[in-house]
Amino acid sequence: MPFVRNQWYVAAHSEEVGDELLARTICGEPIVFYRTSAGRPVALADRCVHRRFPLSASNRDGDRIVCGYHGFTYDPDGTCVAVPGQRRIPRTARVPAYPVVEQDTLVWVWIGDAGKADPARIPRAPWLGSPDYVTVRGMEPLAARYELLVDNLLDLSHETYLHAGYIGTPEVAETPITTEVDEDAGIVYVSRRMKDAECPPFYARSTGITGRIDRWQDIEYHPPCLYLLHSRIAPAGVEPGPDGDDSAACHAEIVYAITPETETTTHDFWMVSRDFALEDEEVSRFLAESNRTVILQDVAALNLLEQVIAGEPEGYQELSINIDTGGLAARRLLARMAEASS
């Protein structure tokens, strides 16, 4: 499938964009990111107009980039302001600047027609910047197409098999899901509510709840990039109050940003925000380490799938069952968006 263009994608965690020049390819487009002295993130095409030298391998002069090959100098808006050996700067000497927005501790970049970029369309993940939550995060490079990560995240029944001993228990695969699609907003919802289930080590060690639990997994996928998993963990039988108060439960907001790098590689950004054990750094360390381990299990599986796909004959048919309804809905929305943007 072609890339879904005219969309916002997460390019980086805010903390990754600073004084250094950061090279990152998004949807096949090489981009250099940095932050101006005023703190504003900048995204420019990572290719000097002169002889293609990567600007990310060049140097900063204040808020400007000076090409490391022959010194073409660019403003943060991409305009070339100096060339060596002559006063006159060719009119076409500019590199494309990408619309960038920093929101919810993420740096979003617009891939497509810059004139169509509307920051109001960026989906929100308010926990990430909230003082009521503590977040751990990372990014794992995936040698697999982003569609495989979408499939993976929309069907969590794989937790039981791929992530046993971390977040998988028998109940995840056993409990049926409900799937809803908001066609107008373009959002896929998948919900799995487990009653009186085993508490996996990931939550037992972090929440301190030792017995059986009620475990909710409510997925909200905003294609193409943002995936939210609202995870509720409570001692078995503890329901939210009639007024909606749910302070007796623990909540983990698990956020993924699924950003295609090339047609067969992906930036797998992950974040785990929690509203419990806020002060406990040991819990932060544990969640960061366990979640990374879990993701590396996914990465290994998806890298393997990418190799299988590369070697298979045209027209191979998969078999889908009930657990795949969320993934299939996501594929349908993505195909529709890709077509609309091409």
**Can you give the binding site for ligand FES, defined by CB under 6 A?**
48, 50-51, 53, 67, 69-72
Question: C-beta of 200: minimal distance to ligand FES in Å?
Answer: 52
Question: C-beta of 152: minimal distance to Fe ion in Å?
Answer: 6
Give the integer Cα–Cα distance in Å for 94 and 79.
5
Give the integer Cα–Cα distance in Å for 153 and 217.
11
Task: Give the DSSP per-residue string, 105-171.
Answer: TEEEEEES-GGG--GGGSPP-GGGG-TT-EEEEEEEEESS-HHHHHHHHH-GGGHHHHSBTTTB-HH
Nearer to Fe ion, 127 or 227 (CB): 227
Question: C-beta of 94: minimal distance to ligand FES in Å?
Answer: 13
Nearer to Fe ion, 107 or 154 (CB): 154
Stretch that binds Fe ion, among 202-210, 244-252, 267-275, 292-300 (CB under 5 A): 292-300
Nearer to ligand FES, 53 or 286 (CB): 53
Contact partner at residue 48 from Fe ion, ligand FES, none, CB < 5 to 8 Å by partner kind? ligand FES
Give the integer Cα–Cα distance in Å for 247 and 218.
18
Question: C-beta of 68: minimal distance to ligand FES in Å?
Answer: 7
Q: What is the largest CA-CA distance in the chain?
A: 77
Stretch that binds Fe ion, among 39-47, 112-120, 134-142, 295-303 (CB under 5 A): 295-303
Question: C-beta of 87: minimal distance to ligand FES in Å?
Answer: 16
Residues 72 and 57: beta-carbon distance below 8 Å: no
Give the integer Cα–Cα distance in Å for 240 and 251.
12
Residues 292 and 271: beta-carbon distance below 8 Å: no
Q: 24 φ, ψ to 5°?
A: -150, 130
Nearer to ligand FES, 53 or 166 (CB): 53
> For 71, left (φ over 0), alpha (ψ -120 to 50), or beta?
left
The first and second tokens of residue 116, run together, are 């169509």
Q: Which residue is nearest to Fe ion (CB)?
A: 298
Question: C-beta of 22: minimal distance to ligand FES in Å?
Answer: 19
Question: C-beta of 91: minimal distance to ligand FES in Å?
Answer: 17
Give the integer Cα–Cα distance in Å for 31 and 46.
5
Contact partner at residue 298 from Fe ion, ligand FES, none, CB < 5 to 8 Å by partner kind? Fe ion
Candidate residues 151, 253, 261, 298; the one interacting with Fe ion per rule CB under 5 A: 298
Nearer to ligand FES, 74 or 256 (CB): 74
Contacts to Fe ion from residues 171-230, by CB under 5 A: none
Per rule CB under 5 A, count of chain residues that contact Fe ion: 1
Nearer to Fe ion, 259 or 291 (CB): 291
The first and second tokens of residue 114, run together, are 């810059």
Nearer to Fe ion, 114 or 296 (CB): 296
Question: C-beta of 136: minimal distance to Fe ion in Å?
Answer: 17
Nearer to ligand FES, 49 or 139 (CB): 49
Give the integer Cα–Cα distance in Å for 298 and 291.
11
Give the integer Cα–Cα distance in Å for 204 and 192.
19
- Positions in the binding site for Fe ion (CB under 5 A): 298
